[in-house]
Chain A
């Protein structure tokens, strides 16, 4: 790595922007060599070290432009897992499991309620489901963040997604705030899905399912909440089951994607 602070700063900023490149260390070494050689030759022509380095960095080009060129066509190489995204992958798996527990517990609760009314057992099953749901929501925040980390650039959709997921997690501690946190989750999931699909960096199907699952589940949870507080309505698990099943599938696929290196098909490079 180069030693001059200007070069180091440039390369560090560039490194942050080109996480897409699986050959990141090689790219940085190559550019460091270029900057060192350019500045050495400029110095040999009589320039001061500072001026030479400054000119070499300027000649290399605007950092955003260079980063864009370096990542253009390498989007599919984005899928290089890091320690955090691998962790996010396991958490996505846990989120899928939480959904499964939630569905099983609430189905049990509903079944028991139909058989013998609202008893301690059905209430316990309901609480287990609620806790599992909260765990799923908590996991969701980590999954959304890991997805954003995997994509590199956060973007407006990423900010919405992460803030939405975090706010939903906090709000979900208070069960009665369901009207707040479920829409937040839906917005977060949709923002994540839309931005990922727009960038074509991840498989589309699981992201579409991910976005749709929280939206469906948010609507179902709101209906369920209304059913609980309104005597005339019966609790209905249909939509929640659909959303939950979609969430389980998408979480498992996303879990796999976050943990593994995405294959780089030949000829993905685009022309300048």
Chain B
């Protein structure tokens, strides 16, 4: 999958991966690869800026620890992050449903 296709969805995917529990960058990337069956094979270095952005937006928190003599940063979803994930997920389901209807030639139920 091209990185371009992920525009706007990266945040949701990262939040989704972190929803199961705190993880450090390497684990987040591996989880993205595993859950997507390898389809999400991004340059790994580009995932970190996205995590940092979520951190700046206070959607994830981070803690530092020392593992094998190295400093390690672990990310966890905040309450705000949980709310954002729910919102992203709702929007995504709605959008994919619309796309499904449009591509399948079915009219989308009218809303008032």
Contact = CB atoms under 8 A, between A and B. Distances in A.
Interface in A143-158: none
A33, A70, A268: residue with the most chain B Cβ atoms closer than 10 Å: A33
B53 A73 contact: yes
Interface stretch (A55-63, A110-118, A231-239, A254-262): A55-63
B7 A271 contact: yes
Contact of A31 (B11, B45, B68): B45
A32 interface: yes
Contacts of A269: 52-53, 56-57
A61 B24 contact: no
Given A61-B44, A61-B45, A269-B57, A38 B7 contact: no
Interface residues of A, number: 29
A23 B53 CA distance: 13
Contacts of A66: 43, 45-46
Given A29-B70, A269-B56, A69 B49 contact: yes
Interface in B20-48: 24-26, 29, 42-46, 48
B106 to A, nearest CB: 31
Given A69-B49, A267-B57, A269-B53, A33 B43 contact: no
B26 A33 contact: yes
A120 interface: no
B73 A30 contact: yes
B73 A69 contact: no
Contact of A69 (B11, B46, B57): B46
Contacts of A62: 43
Interface in A228-272: 266-269, 271-272
A60 B44 contact: yes
Interface string A5-24: 00000000000000000010
Given A73-B53, A272-B10, 7 more contacts: A29-B70, A29-B73, A36-B68, A38-B26, A59-B43, A271-B53, A272-B46
Interface of A: 2, 23, 26-27, 29-34, 36-38, 59-62, 65-66, 69-70, 72-73, 266-269, 271-272
**Which 3 pairs of residues, A with B, have the shortest CB-CB distance?**
A61-B43, A66-B45, A61-B45
Interface of B: 6-8, 10-11, 24-26, 29, 42-46, 48-50, 52-53, 56-57, 64, 67-68, 70-73
